[in-house]
Amino acid sequence: MNLIIFSGFLGSGKTSLILSLAHFIVESQTSKKPNLVIIENEVGDIGIDDKVLKSGGFSVRELFSGCICCQLTSDLIITLNDIKEKIDPKWVIIETTGLAYPGKILGNLNKYGKGIDSIKTVTVVDAERFYELRTVAPILIENQISEGDSVLINKVDLTLDLELEIIEKDVKHLNEKANIYRVSASKNVDDCMWKRVVDISG
């Protein structure tokens, strides 16, 4: 299984981007074997985003009542092992809560996960509220950005070009190794970008 971990603050647009990526993965598959499972983590007891994801026809597993980077670590590992045994998809997308630290999730997956071929982290940055969020939750936002293999600066259609240039420089300062993309989840996301993010060739 190849895991893709999506992190980003509440309201950054993770679910919409995951739907876009999910459609791309399903449309790119060449076999009839189940290709994709989405794990959706909510802080509360009732999931909202999972209803949106299921409406797209994707297999969705929910993890509630906590964050998978801390108190739900064992639940995540058990869920992944169950998915591997019963479905064995090529791709598993994990949508974290907006309060998750991806580094903690990575550490636990590398230590306890089984049947994992690769793990990629994607951080979604809310361009419209970037500096507001950095003021309110600086450690969390900086950690999410620094742990991303790819950083998607979302809501570019709601942000001035000059502001985007400043945000992109700030993101590069926090994570020099990440691939940075400007996107708008409300519009079509380019398939070529998704190919680079998940390393699907062809």
198 vs 49: which has the higher pLDDT: 198
pLDDT band at 112 (very low <50, low <70, confident <90, very high): confident
What is the predicted pLDDT for the residue at 30? 74
CATH match of 2-189 with 3.40.50.300: yes
Distance CA 26, CA 124 (A): 21
What is the predicted pLDDT for the residue at 120? 95
What is the predicted pLDDT for the residue at 126? 97
* Domain residue extents for the chain: 2-189
Question: Would residue 187 be called left, alpha or beta, if left means φ above 0 and alpha means ψ between -120 and 50 degrees?
Answer: beta
Average pLDDT, the chain: 84
What is the predicted pLDDT for the residue at 135? 96
Q: Is the pLDDT of residue 45 over 80?
A: no
pLDDT band at 55 (very low <50, low <70, confident <90, very high): low
Distance CA 109, CA 106 (A): 5
Q: What does pTM read for this prediction?
A: 0.87
| Cβ atoms of 97 and 126 closer than 8 Å | no
186 vs 164: which has the higher pLDDT: 164
**Run of H or E including 171:** helix 161-174
Distance CA 190, CA 202 (A): 14
Of 49-53, 144-148, 155-159, the range with the lowest mean pLDDT is: 49-53
Q: Is the pLDDT of residue 140 over 80?
A: yes
| Cβ atoms of 40 and 6 closer than 8 Å | no
